[in-house]
């Protein structure tokens, strides 16, 4: 790989980087994506609500609004082509008092200006029809708001890009970039030359930009904590239920968001923090999330929580700023394209951002269509979603479909094998989790992790140090049972 | 897809399922199917390599594998049919079971079902411990499986949350294999394990026990690097200023067991919110006729010997049901009164001897367990020491239960 | 010297206080029976424990076989015993009761298998 020359280097394998990779693979280009973690979707893209926003939160005329609305329109076909779960569950934004009702009308106005379809203000009766468990005097109803599986989408974009000729290197952190108009990108695993560099490094996009002397951007990490509710509470809401957003620019208020796996997310919160990688949950916020969620949905209890997590927003504004900032999507210096500050609605916007990046490139370089481009990618079988007859047929052809490894999510041994044999080469528990949903259930891997490790051992005989939770030195074990007492 | 019918289907091949199967066979039913999801029978006993099993049933202090082997040998000897690597995906109210096995998806229509699925462990997510999510956080049973069955040592410097028997046993296990156990942290003012285990697992190895403490933070990006513990007040909230950091690479969670009743719910079985297990009558039959429950799935046990005896009753009842001999006249409610956390069974007929099982709410000395029917006292059982972690069982003969209207069991 | 014990011989769990010196008990209180006295004597002057652990298996369907000491061993030899069995491998098949190590470290106790481990079928 040393000294290899590319047309495009994409830095960062999150949703934006992988969407760009797929978009570029429509053309005959030599493209490589460099990801520092052991898998794609390990940063912001692996820690969000999975929402496809309709486009009424974003300021009309902004890049956020433009890419949000276009991305929302593109998403159903993309998910269909890439075989990724997508559900138009709808959203209501609930007002509890007069001041909040005023804000609802502002949101609707925003949405109308952005061209969002189907938005309407509904009253208490209709709220009860749509969401019987929710209390509110008025709400904004957005029927086209949707949810998808952000992990599977990120993985699918990467796999489709790979399928169509893009190289993807994991565990490859960029340490320096030299050049202007054509670049040498130095990494922990060698040097790469490229005509263009596309910086989609998420939380570290400011640091990457700095490497080529662009230091006018600074990311202020803003953490959002979440709780995940057990599937047995899924029936409490139909679609997304949000309160009216608070007036301070920070977050959007405590949301209730169903997932495509039938859990419910509570959150996110919004707190500015010092360390951009500090994804810890805190006691105060966890308590607050619970209390606020209980206001919206009195029937939940702490016993229904199966996991909590946190994601970090890459904000371009300081904590005391009055107005939010727009996405940075620009060619900052010759052939160096920056994507900075891609927070919400980043997931929704990703495919549209990719299109914009290609537009920027086309102004500088002729791109020839890739005649072999195939937009479709088939996902591995999800056993739990099949009918009994389909299950039976699969098992009779392959007994590994008859061995359940993850009992909470009904994931079979073959699906674990499929997840481990993924084309990107991610080989840890999180990699299996993203793709197969094993460990995502109420026992959080207590039952299946020993079994997954067994499959890992059989497939690739890894050294014990290579058995990790999420790559790098997140080792699962320190050795064999007797190692601490064995003679050296 | 394979469809078959069976007289008695038993879900779970651990100590409860094994004994229920043997009892059903001895009661004259041959058409039994024991369904086990792991590669071998024995359930959780496979990984319980410590001693203390069988003192009541065999008069010996056996290890878990030795205890289970006696019952596995009996199942083989009696030629009771069983399936391994077979997970039940669904049970409906008509007692039709969907089994996923390496052979095929199998629909089993059973006349009677014995639920013997055991329990699962409470997780970090359910108790909302703040902090990061690094590798090195394990529930005790999962770690026990990895260390004793899969031959993996999970860490070198261990902090254990929870001083129940499982946490204590694992503390000793780690010490024996050469790991450092830096602390056992317990939120209550007393250890919920047996005194014998506190002596032989903690005191023997000088492992510090922090009572009235809990873990308030976990740090480490990739792997656990330290945990922070703090003292708690009477409401179990952490007290600011009492935080103490402990450098470690592993946090072991031994914070409770929850009966695994997802399948039971699918079958329409009503659960007791205190035990998280089924509501049952004196025959261990649930509200769904022909579905019985026993072992940890009914209520979490401390002694496997009790599981065996309970499962025998369930197996016998299931056999009687199949033969049409089981009379269900259990209309008399049994209520847990003052000081009692729960009592089983929930309903009795008043026409048979009954063995009651209960747990108290708080540890105490010199108390009496009182069984009364309204104002009339049926029985008083003096106890020198009572502990929530030690299940109490006693029998009442049918002569005493005649004309009873409702039973309350309470502490005096 | 003084020491407190919780006797574990029976469910009463008597809290026993002892005053002792150089191998002799001077005063004992709190025990309801003789067995408590015996327990405390042994715990003070020659404590013993039964040990359960596991030993690596070669060519077995499982990588480890669970084992126990055939009788209690002196408490102070526990770690030496653990070091000893860490370096042993036993060949499958193993049956419950098989003696893995006879008279381990001269304690008079054997290490015996508590689980059946079948031989792995080579394919």
Show residues of chain A in contact with C87, CB under 8 Å.
482, 486-487
pLDDT in tens, A347-396: 999 999 999 999 999 999 999 999 999 999 999 999 999 999 999 999 99
Would you state the structure tokens that stand for residue B203, as one six-digit string? 């005191």
Inter-chain CB proximity A474 and B142 less than 8 Å: no
With CB atoms and an 8 Å threshold, state whether C87 touches A481.
no
**Portion of chain B with pLDDT greater than 70, in percent:** 100
Please give the pLDDT value at position C4: 86
Mark whether B294 and B395 lie in a shared domain.
no
Q: What is the pLDDT of residue C44?
A: 87
pLDDT at res. A252: 53
List CB contacts (< 8 A) between B120 and chain A: 442-443, 446-447
Q: Which of residues 68-97 of B touch C (CB under 8 A)?
A: 69
Contact yes or no for C8 and B199 at CB 8 A: yes
A290-304, A354-368, B350-364: least confident range: A290-304
Contacts of A480 in chain C (CB under 8 A): 56
Cβ neighbours of C83 in A, within 8 Å: 485, 487
Residue B349 and residue B329 in contact, taking contact as beta carbons nearer than 8 Å: yes
Closest CA to A444 of A393, A482, A406: A406
| Last residue of one domain, picked from the residues B255, B282, B307 | B255
Identity of the residue in C52, C75, C78 whose CB atom sits nearest the CB atom of B50: C52
Could you tell me what percent of chain A has a pLDDT over 90? Answer: 89
Domain match, B117 and B260 both: yes
My answer on whether B323 and B335 are in the same domain is no
Pick C39 or B3 by higher pLDDT.
Answer: B3
Report CB contact under 8 Å: A481, C82.
no
Mean pLDDT of B273-301: 97
Minimal Cβ distance to C64: which of B66, B151, B196: B151
| DSSP characters over C4-73 | EEE--SSTT--EEEEEEETTEEEEEES-SSHHHHHHHHHHHHS-EE--EEEEEEESBSSSEEEEEESS-E
- Which DSSP string do the residues of A251-306 spell out, in sequence order? -----EEE-TTS-EEE----EE-S-TT---B-HHHHHHHHHHHHHH-TT--GGGEE
Question: pLDDT (tens digit, 9 = 90+) per residue, A222-262?
Answer: 999 999 999 999 999 999 999 888 765 545 578 999 999 99
Distance from CA of C63 to the nearest CA of B (A): 6
Among the partner-chain residues B65, B204, B385, the one whose CB lies closest to the CB of C75 is B204
Q: Tell me, yes or no, if the pTM score tops 0.90.
A: yes
Burial C30-65 (b: 16+ CB within 10 A, else e): ebeeeebeebbbebbeeebebbbbbbbbeebebbbb
Higher pLDDT among residues C11 and B188, named by residue: B188
Q: C-side interface with B, Cβ within 8 Å?
A: 6, 8, 11-13, 49-54, 56, 62-64, 66, 68, 75, 78, 82, 86, 96, 114-116
**Phi then psi for B356, rounded to 5 degrees?**
-100, 145
Tell me the ipTM for this assembly. Answer: 0.95
Q: Are residues B190 and B202 in the same domain?
A: yes
Please identify which of the residues A53, A72, A227, A255 carries the catalytic annotation. Answer: A53
* End-to-end alpha carbon distance in chain A: 38
Residues B114 and B135 in one domain: no
Calpha distance A195→B361 (Å, rounded): 72
B130–A402 CB contact, under 8 Å: no
Q: DSSP letter at C123?
A: -
Place of tokens 């596991």: C54
Judged by DSSP in three states, B49 sits in coil
Kindly state the tokens that stand for B94.
């008509």
Which of C51, C66, C75 has its CB closest to that of B65? C66
> Chains contacting A with at least 3 CB pairs below 8 Å?
B, C
Identify the CA nearest to B190 among candidates B387, B375, B390, B44.
B387
Chain C residues with CB-CB distance to B50 below 8 A: 52
pLDDT digits (tens, 9 = 90+) for B81-102: 999 999 999 999 999 999 999 9
Q: Which of these, C53, C85, C51, C79, lies nearest to B206 by C-alpha position?
A: C79
Question: What is the total count of domains within chain B?
Answer: 3
Task: Compute the distance between CA of residue A89 and CA of residue A104 in angstroms, rounded to an integer.
Answer: 20
Beta-carbon contacts below 8 Å between A and C: 16
Query: Which residues in chain C are contacts of A482 at CB distance < 8 A?
Result: 54, 56, 86-87
Please provide residue C92's backbone torsions phi and psi, each rounded to the nearest 5 degrees.
-70, 150
Rounded CA-CA distance A27/A10 in Å is: 15
Residue A249's pLDDT is: 54
Pick the range with the lowest mean pLDDT from A17-26, A47-56, A290-299, B164-173: A290-299
Whether residues B286 and B368 share a domain: the answer is no
How many angstroms separate the CA of residue A487 from the nearest CA in chain C?
7
pLDDT at C13: 72
- Average pLDDT rounded to a whole number, residues A189-205: 97
- C8–B178: do the CB atoms touch at under 8 Å? no
3-class state of residue B252 by DSSP? strand
- Domain-ending residue, one of B255, B286, B306: B255
C82 at interface of A, judged by CB pairs closer than 8 A: yes
B105 Cβ under 8 Å from any chain C Cβ:
no
Output helix, strand, coil percentages for chain A, rounded to the nearest 5. Answer: 35, 25, 45
* Region A184-205 average pLDDT: 96
DSSP 8-state class, residue C108: S
Q: What DSSP letter does each residue of A301-349 carry, written as one string?
A: -GGGEEEEEEEEEEESS-TT-SS----EEEEEETTEEEEE---TTHHHH
* Nearest residue in A to C88, CA atom: A486
Residue (of B79, B81, B65, B78) closest to B8 by Cα position: B81
Q: Are C93 and C117 in contact (CB under 8 A)?
A: yes
Nearest CA-CA partner of A47 in A346, A426, A357: A346
Q: Which residues of C touch B61 (CB under 8 A)?
A: 50
Q: Is A481 on the interface with C (CB under 8 A)?
A: yes
What mean pLDDT is predicted for residues A14-30? 97
Side-chain half-sphere exposure of A127, counting CA atoms within 13 A: 21
Mean pLDDT lowest among B274-278, B388-392, C28-32, C79-83 = C28-32
The answer to whether the CB atoms of C13 and B63 lie below 8 A apart is no
| Contact predicate A59/A325, CB 8 Å | no
Which of A453, A464, A482 is the best substitution to test chain C (most C C-beta atoms within 10 A)?
Answer: A482
At residue B86, the 3 state secondary structure works out as: coil
Of B121, B152, B216, the CB nearest to A481: B152
Q: Is A125 exposed, middle or buried (0-12, 13-18, 19+ CB in 10 A)?
A: exposed
Q: Give the mean pLDDT of B209-215.
A: 97
Say what the pLDDT of residue A1 is. 47
CA distance readout (Å), A96 to A57, A264, A295, B166? 19, 22, 11, 48
CB atoms within 10 A of CB A63: 20
- Chains touching C (at least 3 CB pairs under 8 A) are A, B
- Inspect the interface and report whether the beta carbons of B148 and A280 lie closer than 8 Å: no
**Test the C interface: residue of B49, B58, B147 with most C CBs within 10 Å:** B49
> What's the longest Cα–Cα distance across chain B?
65
* C-alpha to C-alpha distance for B199 and B189, rounded to whole angstroms: 17
B130 with A447: Cβ contact below 8 A: no
Q: What is the pLDDT of residue C11?
A: 65
Separation between Cα atoms, residue B102 and residue A397, nearest integer Å: 10
3-class DSSP assignment, residue A456: helix
Kindly list the distances between the CA atom of residue C89 and the CA atoms of A482, B206, C54, C55, C94, in Å, as whole numbers in the listed order.
11, 30, 10, 6, 11
Dihedral angle sign, alpha carbons of residues C56, C61, C66, C67 = negative
Residues 6+ apart with CB under 8 A from B77: none
Nearest to A317 by CA among A397, A249, A409: A249
Mean pLDDT of B347-372: 94
- Picking from C73, A450, A183, the residue whose alpha carbon sits closest to that of residue B146 is A450
The share of chain A scoring above pLDDT 70, in percent, equals 98
Given an 8 Å threshold on Cβ–Cβ distance, is A485 in contact with C64? no
Nearest neighbour of B125 by CB, restricted to A305, A389, A450: A305
pLDDT at C123: 61
Could you say which DSSP state residue A468 is in?
B
Is the separation of the CB atoms in C3 and C44 below 8 Å? Answer: yes
Residue C77 distance to chain A (closest CA, Å): 14
Q: Does B176 touch chain C (CB under 8 A)?
A: yes
B172 — contact with chain C (CB < 8 Å)? no
Nearest to B102 among A309, A402, A469 (CB): A402
Measure the CA–CA gap between B154 and B138, rounded to whole angstroms: 8
Residue A466's φ and ψ, nearest 5 degrees, are -90, -5
Contacts of A486 in chain C (CB under 8 A): 86-87
Contact A219, A316 (CB under 8 A): yes
Give the dihedral of Cα atoms A398, A404, A405, A407; nearest 10 deg. Answer: 160
Please give the Cα distance from B178 to B91 (Å, whole number). Answer: 45
Residues of A whose CB is below 8 A from B44: none
CA–CA distance, A138 with C106 (Å, rounded to integer): 82
State whether residue C87 sits within 8 Å of chain A by CB: yes
What is the mean predicted confidence (pLDDT) over B304-320? Answer: 98
Contact A278, A129 (CB under 8 A): no
Domain coverage including residue B137: 123-255
Burial class (CB in 10 A: 0-12, 13-18, 19+), A249: middle
Are B39 and B99 in the same domain?
Answer: yes
- Antiparallel, parallel or unpaired: β C111-113 and C99-101: antiparallel
Q: Do B135 and A468 touch (CB under 8 A)?
A: yes
Do residue B199 and residue C6 have CB atoms under 8 angstroms apart?
yes
Nearest CA in chain A to B39: A403
State pLDDT tens for residues C10-50: 766 778 888 888 878 888 888 878 888 888 888 888 899 99
Q: Does C64 touch chain A (CB under 8 A)?
A: yes
- Residue of chain B whose Cα is closest to the Cα of C113: B66
pLDDT at A293: 86
Angle at C26 between CA C23 and CA C32, to 5 degrees: 110
pLDDT-derived band at B45, boundaries 50, 70, 90 = very high
Q: What is the CB neighbour count within 10 angstroms for residue B331? A: 12
Nearest to C114 among B49, B151, B177 (CB): B49
Q: What is the pLDDT of residue A488?
A: 57
* B81 lies in the same domain as B188: no
- In this prediction, residues A121-129 reach a mean pLDDT of 95
| Architecture label for domain C52-113 | Roll (3.10)
SS3 C115: coil
Q: How far apart are the CA of C105 and the nearest CA of chain A, in angstroms?
A: 16
Decide if A237 contacts A128 (C-beta within 8 A): no
- Report the b/e string of B225-240 with b at 16+ CB within 10 A: bbbbbbbbeeeeebee
CA–CA distance, B6 with B24 (Å, rounded to integer) = 13
CB A446 to CB B216 under 8 A?
A: no
Question: Is position A235 annotated as part of the catalytic site?
Answer: no
CATH, residue B32:
3.50.50.60
């Amino acid at each position: 790989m040393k000294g290899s020359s590319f047309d495009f280097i994409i830095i960062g394998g999150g949703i934006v980087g992988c969407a760009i990779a797929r978009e570029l693979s429509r053309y005959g280009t030599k493209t490589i994506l460099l990801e520092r973690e052991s898998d794609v979707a390990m940063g912001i893209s692996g820690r969000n609500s999975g929402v496809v926003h309709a486009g009424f939160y974003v300021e009309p005329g902004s890049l956020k609004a433009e890419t949000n609305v276009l991305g929302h329109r593109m998403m159903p076909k993309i998910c269909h082509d890439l075989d990724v779960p997508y559900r138009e569950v709808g959203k209501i934004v609930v007002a509890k008092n007069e001041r909040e009702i005023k804000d609802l009308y502002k949101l609707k106005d925003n949405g109308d200006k952005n061209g969002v379809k189907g938005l309407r203000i509904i009253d208490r009766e209709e709220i009860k029809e749509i969401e019987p468990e929710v209390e509110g005097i008025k709400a904004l109803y957005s029927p086209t708001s949707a949810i998808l599986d952000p992990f599977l989408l990120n993985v699918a974009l990467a796999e489709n890009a790979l399928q169509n000729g893009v190289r993807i290197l994991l565990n490859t952190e960029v340490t320096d970039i030299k050049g202007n108009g054509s670049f040498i990108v130095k990494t922990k695993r060698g040097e790469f030359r490229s005509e263009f560099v596309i910086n989609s490094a998420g939380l570290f996009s400011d640091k990457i930009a700095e490497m080529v002397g662009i230091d006018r951007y600074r990311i202020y990490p803003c953490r959002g904590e979440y709780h995940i509710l057990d599937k047995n509470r899924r029936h409490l809401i139909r679609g997304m239920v949000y309160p009216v957003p608070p007036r301070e620019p920070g977050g959007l208020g405590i949301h209730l968001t169903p997932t495509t796996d039938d859990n419910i997310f509570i959150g996110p919160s919004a707190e500015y923090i010092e360390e951009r990688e500090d994804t810890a949950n805190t006691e105060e916020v966890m308590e607050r999330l619970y209390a606020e969620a209980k206001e919206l949905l009195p029937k939940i209890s702490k016993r229904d929580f199966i996991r909590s997590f946190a994601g970090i927003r890459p904000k371009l504004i300081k904590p005391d700023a009055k107005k939010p900032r727009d996405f940075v999507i620009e060619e900052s210096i010759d052939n160096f394209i920056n994507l900075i500050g891609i927070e919400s609605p980043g997931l929704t916007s990703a495919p549209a951002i990719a299109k914009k990046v290609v537009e920027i490139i086309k102004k500088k370089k002729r791109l020839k269509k890739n005649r072999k481009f195939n937009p479709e990618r088939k996902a591995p079988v999800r056993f739990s979603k099949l009918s009994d007859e389909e299950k039976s047929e699969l098992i009779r052809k392959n007994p590994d479909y008859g061995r359940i490894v993850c009992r909470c999510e009904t994931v079979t041994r073959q699906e674990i094998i499929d997840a481990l044999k993924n084309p990107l080469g991610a080989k840890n528990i999180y990699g299996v989790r993203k793709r197969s949903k094993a460990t995502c259930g109420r026992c959080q891997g207590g039952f299946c992790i020993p079994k997954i490790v067994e499959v890992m051992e059989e497939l690739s005989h890894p050294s014990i140090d290579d058995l990790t939770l999420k790559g790098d030195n997140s080792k699962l074990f320190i050795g064999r049972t007797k190692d601490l007492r064995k003679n050296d | 897809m394979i469809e078959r019918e069976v007289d008695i289907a038993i879900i779970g091949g651990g100590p409860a399922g094994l004994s229920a199967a043997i009892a059903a066979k001895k009661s004259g039913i041959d058409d039994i199917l024991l369904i086990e999801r792991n590669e071998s029978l024995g359930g959780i006993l496979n990984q319980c390599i410590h001693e203390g099993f069988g003192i009541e049933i065999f008069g010996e202090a056996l290890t878990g594998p030795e205890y289970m082997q006696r019952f596995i040998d009996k199942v083989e000897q009696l030629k009771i049919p069983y399936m391994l690597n077979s997970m039940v995906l669904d049970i409906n109210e008509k007692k039709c079971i969907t089994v996923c096995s390496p052979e095929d998806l199998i629909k089993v229509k059973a006349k009677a079902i014995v639920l013997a699925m055991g329990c699962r462990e409470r997780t970090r997510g359910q108790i909302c411990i703040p902090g990061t999510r690094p590798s090195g956080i394990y529930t005790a049973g999962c770690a026990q499986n990895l260390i004793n069955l899969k031959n993996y040592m999970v860490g070198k410097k261990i902090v254990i949350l929870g001083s129940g028997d499982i946490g204590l046993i694992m503390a000793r296990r780690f010490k024996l294999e050469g790991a450092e156990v830096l602390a056992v942290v317990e939120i209550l003012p007393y250890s919920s394990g047996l005194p014998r285990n506190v002596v032989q697992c903690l005191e023997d190895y000088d492992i510090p026990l922090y009572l009235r403490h809990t873990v308030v933070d976990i740090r480490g990006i990739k792997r656990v690097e330290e945990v922070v513990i703090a003292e708690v007040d009477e409401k179990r909230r952490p007290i600011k200023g009492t935080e103490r950091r402990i450098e470690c690479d592993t946090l072991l969670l031994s914070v409770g067991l929850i009966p695994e009743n997802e399948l039971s719910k699918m079958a329409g079985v009503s659960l007791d919110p205190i035990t998280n297990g089924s509501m049952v009558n004196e025959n261990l039959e649930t509200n769904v006729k022909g579905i019985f429950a026993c072992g940890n799935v009914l209520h979490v046990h401390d002694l496997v010997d009790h599981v065996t005896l309970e499962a025998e009753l369930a197996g016998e009842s299931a056999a009687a049901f199949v033969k049409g001999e089981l009379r269900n006249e259990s209309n008399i409610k049994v209520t847990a009164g003052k000081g009692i956390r729960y009592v089983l069974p929930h309903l009795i007929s008043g026409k048979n001897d009954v063995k009651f099982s209960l747990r108290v709410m708080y540890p105490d000395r010199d108390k009496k367990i009182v069984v009364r029917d309204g104002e009339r006292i049926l029985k008083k059982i003096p106890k020198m020491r009572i502990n929530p972690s030690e299940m109490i069982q006693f029998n009442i003969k049918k002569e005493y239960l005649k004309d009873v209207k409702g039973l309350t069991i309470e502490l005096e | 010297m003084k020491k407190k014990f919780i006797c574990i011989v029976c469910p009463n769990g008597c809290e026993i206080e002892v005053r002792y010196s150089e191998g002799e008990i001077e005063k004992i209180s709190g025990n309801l029976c003789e067995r408590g006295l015996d327990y405390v004597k042994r715990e003070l002057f020659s404590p013993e424990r039964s040990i359960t652990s596991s030993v690596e298996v070669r060519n077995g369907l499982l990588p480890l076989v669970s084992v126990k000491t055939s009788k209690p061993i002196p408490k102070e030899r526990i770690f030496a015993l653990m070091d000893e069995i860490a370096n042993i491998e036993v060949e499958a098949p193993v049956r419950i009761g098989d003696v893995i190590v006879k008279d381990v470290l001269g304690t008079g106790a054997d290490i015996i298998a508590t689980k059946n481990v079948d031989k792995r079928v080579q394919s």
